[in-house]
Amino acid sequence: MTPRRVVIVGGGFAGLFAVRALRSAPVEVTLVDRCAHHLFQPLLYQCASGILSEGQIAQPLRAVLRRRPHVRCLLATATDVDVARRIVHAERPDGGQLELPYDDLIVGVGVRQSYFGHDEFARHATGMKTLSDALAVRAKLFRAFEMAEASSDPRERAQWLTFALVGGGPTGVELAGQIREIASHTLDREFSTIDPSQARVLLFDGSAAVLGAFGPVLSRRAARTLKDLGVEIHLDSIVTDVDAQGLTVRRKDGSVEQVRARTVLWTAGVEAPPLATALARATGAEQDRVGRIKVEPDLTIADHPEIRVVGDLMSLDDLPGLAEVAMQSGAYAGRRIRHAIEGRTARPRPFRYLDLGSAAYISRGNAVVKMGRFHASGLVGWLVWLCIHIVFLTGFRSRAGALLSWAVVFASGSRRERAFVSTARKSSAAPQGPWAGSSADPVGSGTEPGGSR
């Protein structure tokens, strides 16, 4: 019997959980991703802020799947789908073209950073969606303090010590808290000219609350914790321009303000990658306002039962862009294929998402957690956050290393991962050819807007 050919596009949580669900099925799986690693995206901000190394949040896909001989990994970017011939077209890093035939296709490439039609902002406002972004943010953060120390102009020094973050979702809140901790604790007594604790951290969001998806009570608690840390929160504020000197903000009352900040970080908004448009064009599928593919209750595309869209890229019942959604939808898609091979003829039950909650880390000993009716903040929230992320980190080495790093930071405020390259980096957040946008993402920690950690 010829094994059924299953192509999975995306090595994030959706893709890996689909592979796991197919482990006992007579299939040949081809896993295609533009990166050779599986990224624990919810902890990107901890890599960016020097708590964790890139090796602690990213595991080689081949190592993760080494015990699954029926899985073939390919480093390539899926660019199009020929639904008539059932072929996925992909491009290798060297520009070479691949044709990957399939009997079943699972698409879980995730979403990418959105600048809401202003991709030019990416030149000065680094996003937080890829490992390259995290390392670029780390360089910008620690370089800013070095530049302030070397400056003799008080006005320029103040600009280097001003950090502006756009987006009041989990990533923005978490980064804001980490920058204040770096300034107040990590860099304490390390500089002779500047006082890092005087650094300003400004958080801008167009809505009326930070962490709005967590509900009004937790949102207020998070805002209070941020303010206690020294973060300046600016709500109902729309960023209309970003340049090397800072950003321009339009307030709710129509007034416009220019904010001088040499470090601008972008954590607001997501959009579907080009593959989503290509897939919609090939299948006639509808897309939502950010380009995600609208799917049937069984995660298939209408009139194409052989194609399933999972994770952040699927649009179904307003589900948020959380890792847990990616995990459950990926596992569901894999099981549906396995059941079809086993000859189960009963009509499959529709996908049902079990909400296991969301969590956002703010500072040492402070996090907010929402799990159904259970809401927690402060130290209790932080302990729950810790347990969630230990469970879902991939690999013993990652868990052990992360625990040690968290213990060091919690006890002393010291951060071991502060190395950076001072040359300018081009953010991978903005669309840059066929290699833009791919992987999914993990629990309690998703993508904005609406996503949460």
Which sequence positions are flagged as catalytic?
A: 174
DSSP-derived letter for residue 444 is B
Residue pair 98/92 in contact (Cβ under 8 Å)? The answer is yes
Q: Compute φ and ψ for 353, nearest 5 degrees.
A: -85, 125
Q: Within a 13 Å sphere around the CA of 140, how many CA atoms are in the beta-carbon half? A: 31
Q: Which of 284, 289, 358 is nearest to 318 (CA)?
A: 289
DSSP-derived letter for residue 182 is I
Q: Within a 13 Å sphere around the CA of 195, how many CA atoms are in the beta-carbon half? A: 2
Residue pair 419/432 in contact (Cβ under 8 Å)? The answer is no
CA-CA distance, 126 to 264, in Å (whole number)? 7
CA-CA distance, 80 to 212, in Å (whole number)? 36
Q: Which of 310, 386, 407, 396 is nearest to 351 (CA)?
A: 310
- Check the CA dihedral 386-389-395-401 and report its sign: negative
- Which residues, at least 6 apart from 106, have a Cβ–Cβ distance to it below 8 Å? 6, 7, 8, 9, 14, 15, 18, 308, 309, 310, 330, 333, 334, 337
